[in-house]
Structure 1
Amino acid sequence: MRLTFRRLFYDDRNKIMFCAIPKTGITSWKKLLMQLASDSPYELDTGIHNLTTLAEHGIKVFTKVYKEEQRNFMLNTYHKVLAVRHPVLRLISAYKDKFFDDLYSQRHNELIIETYRTAPVDPFSPYVNRPTWLEFMHFVLEHEKSQGDVHWMRYESLCQPCKHNYDSIIKLETIDEDVKDFLRFFDKGNVSYSHSNPSIGQEEKTLDDYMNELPKDMWEKLIEFYGLDMAMFGYSVDLNRGRLFCDYSKIPMPRRLVQSTTSYEDNEEDLVTLRCC
């Protein structure tokens, strides 16, 4: 529960609460929330991840709410938002951003190479001092079951969607339309949103390249690892082809948001409940 509280940010002005999951567009979301909380039509580009700067623009972290009664009131009444993306795409993005584009953690870097490197690497290879994608995958699936990092930890552990009834589920795959619906709900048509900060990774290496490097047994472990996350939000993997799917008919849309938008009809059959264990 404490971990979830550290991921939760809130805006008292609009009664919005957002669970910040790395690699799902949280930089863009924090910019948007600061716009809403400060009633500014302009994107704010500095101090996005600085708690003091966020607080100055009306965005506070939930751990600063100390009274249990107040916490429960906010969890039950504020409009709770959760942004997600296909777990496999999120994992690839985390690897490219944290181990190829930049060095996220020397401790992680050394541990992965020492534990999972089984053969010497060409001295001219970009992987001399950084883990390969396959080595990183071994680390996540064998080491991280008990010790997770927030950049690839499962949604169920980070934000507890089975326990907290989120009012808006935003998918990165459908971000433009989802954000429009979200802003229409709050009657904030003057606020802009743009998604940026892409992970680059190795030049000319495609998504197919990353997926094709994984042997079948690793795909099976990966599906098991992220199984609940995928089931909750309509994601899946074709094991034989290594293809990723997002079933857009399984986007959980709560009733009070459905009733306020033009994109979805208020039809009981259109409402999809999170499938939790």
Structure 2
Amino acid sequence: MDKSMQSHREYVFAQHKRCCTIANHLHHVCDAGIRQGIWEQAERVRRQKTWVQNDNFLVVPGTNFMMCVLPKCGSSSWHWLTRDLREPLSAGHQFGWQDRQKNTQIMQDLSPDDGAKLMSNENAFRGISVRHPFSKLVSGWNQKLARELTYASFLLEAYPHMQEYADDTDKLHVLTFENMAEYIAAYGHDVDNLDYHFLPMEYLCQPCLYPYNYVIKIESMGNDQNWLTHELNVERMPWQEKGPGYFNANQTNPVNILRTYFKNVKRETILKLMDIYYYDFVLFGYTFDVDTLTPGGLV
């Protein structure tokens, strides 16, 4: 065997093994949680055999593909891939809102029988795309609370308590990041006070109830692309269209980013945030050192 080919196969195997290790960690923690009564075993068994629709799912029944897609966790790329799996895109195709809408409609129209097969098929790809909870928080704040967006005004109107934390300190955002952190720390234990983009990943995808067999961390997606193209039998992943290293280049060092944004957040506020997003940390192997402001579990 050619040495370069052997090296490539070994690399792909290592990527596959890492994703499986993360999934095994998830299953281990979920098993412990079920024994403690945090999640119900009966409901877990039911969702392994029947189709319980989740609005965050993307599905392509013909290729045995299902992905729970979360905001600020590469959702656009997964929608693009789903479109490509059901109908291969031509090079340079501009993915549009119609494609995204069609993806959602296909999931909503999936029959109970086809959904049940997708849940129980041992060969199906049932994944969940995740991100460090605090990186996800920073990204959501930066994009959804920008003053130039009407969405920011919507948030202030939809969540009245958020207005208490708004001021003119940050010229680019309606809330400073520190004030956004304070708001979530104060009111985030009630999901009714959180916009969709700030809800816990565990709440949206319910990883201890659905039979996911792959966990994809956004921090390592650029490195996982060779394995993913092999596993999903596609020629390329969405971000590869934009050139070599695109995804990694857009994942600027998360350690430095989080240290920058959290350096002015009160320690007690950070601890409250870690409590609100507790299951996201524990289930997916993420950590955060409140003394050094260092995130862990990124790969």
Bin the TM-score by the shorter chain: 0.7 to 0.9
Unaligned runs of 5+ in 1: 249-277
Partner of residue 64 from structure 1, selected from 109, 124, 136: 109
CA displacement at 1:71 relative to structure 2: 2.9
Matching residue's letter, 1:223: M
SS of 1:151's equivalent in the other structure is helix
C-alpha contact (below 8 Å) 1:23/1:94 kept by paired residues: yes
Structure-1 residue corresponding to 2:223: 177
Structure-2 residue corresponding to 1:83: 129
Unaligned runs of 5+ in 2: 1-46, 240-245
Structure-2 residue corresponding to 1:142: 186
C-alpha contact (below 8 Å) 2:225/2:237 kept by paired residues: no
Structure 1 pair 105–114 and aligned structure 2 pair: CA distance change class (3 A): closer
CA displacement at 1:238 relative to structure 2: 0.5
Of 239-248 and 79-88, the range deviating more from structure 2: 239-248
Partner of residue 133 from structure 1, selected from 137, 152, 177: 177
Partner of residue 153 from structure 2, selected from 95, 106, 128: 106
CA displacement at 1:217 relative to structure 2: 0.2
Structure 1 pair 8–181 and aligned structure 2 pair: CA distance change class (3 A): same
In 1, Cα distance between the equivalents of 2:91 and 2:81? Answer: 9
Q: Which is helix-richer, 1 or 2?
A: 2
In 1, Cα distance between the equivalents of 2:151 and 2:87? Answer: 32
Deviation digits for residues 61-98 of structure 1 (CA, Å, limit 9, x no counterpart): 4332353x443332222421211111100000000000
SS of 1:5's equivalent in the other structure is coil
Partner of residue 14 from structure 1, selected from 55, 63, 74: 63
Deviation digits for residues 89-148 of structure 1 (CA, Å, limit 9, x no counterpart): 00000000001263424232253553235xx646xx516x71111221122222232213
SS of 1:104's equivalent in the other structure is helix
In 2, Cα distance between the equivalents of 1:227 and 1:134? Answer: 20
Say yes or no: does 1:223 pair with 2:286: no
C-alpha contact (below 8 Å) 1:36/1:191 kept by paired residues: no
CA displacement at 1:43 relative to structure 2: 5.4
C-alpha contact (below 8 Å) 2:188/2:276 kept by paired residues: no
Structure-1 residue corresponding to 2:232: 186
CA displacement at 1:41 relative to structure 2: 5.5
Of 32-41 and 191-200, the range deviating more from structure 2: 191-200
Structure-2 residue corresponding to 1:233: 284
Question: What TM-score comes out, normalization by structure 2 length?
Answer: 0.68
RCO comparison, higher one (Cα < 8 Å, 6+): 2
Aligned positions, number: 233
In 1, Cα distance between the equivalents of 2:292 and 2:132? Answer: 16
Once the two structures are superposed, the pairs formed by residues 7-46 of structure 1 within 5 Å of their partners are: 7-40=56-89, 42=91, 44-46=93-95
Structure 1 pair 4–94 and aligned structure 2 pair: CA distance change class (3 A): farther
Partner of residue 197 from structure 2, selected from 148, 151, 170: 151
Structure-1 residue corresponding to 2:206: 160
Matching residue's letter, 2:209: K
SS of 2:288's equivalent in the other structure is strand
CA displacement at 1:169 relative to structure 2: 1.2
SS of 2:141's equivalent in the other structure is helix
C-alpha contact (below 8 Å) 1:113/1:130 kept by paired residues: no
Question: What TM-score comes out, normalization by structure 1 length?
Answer: 0.72
Structure 1 pair 18–224 and aligned structure 2 pair: CA distance change class (3 A): same
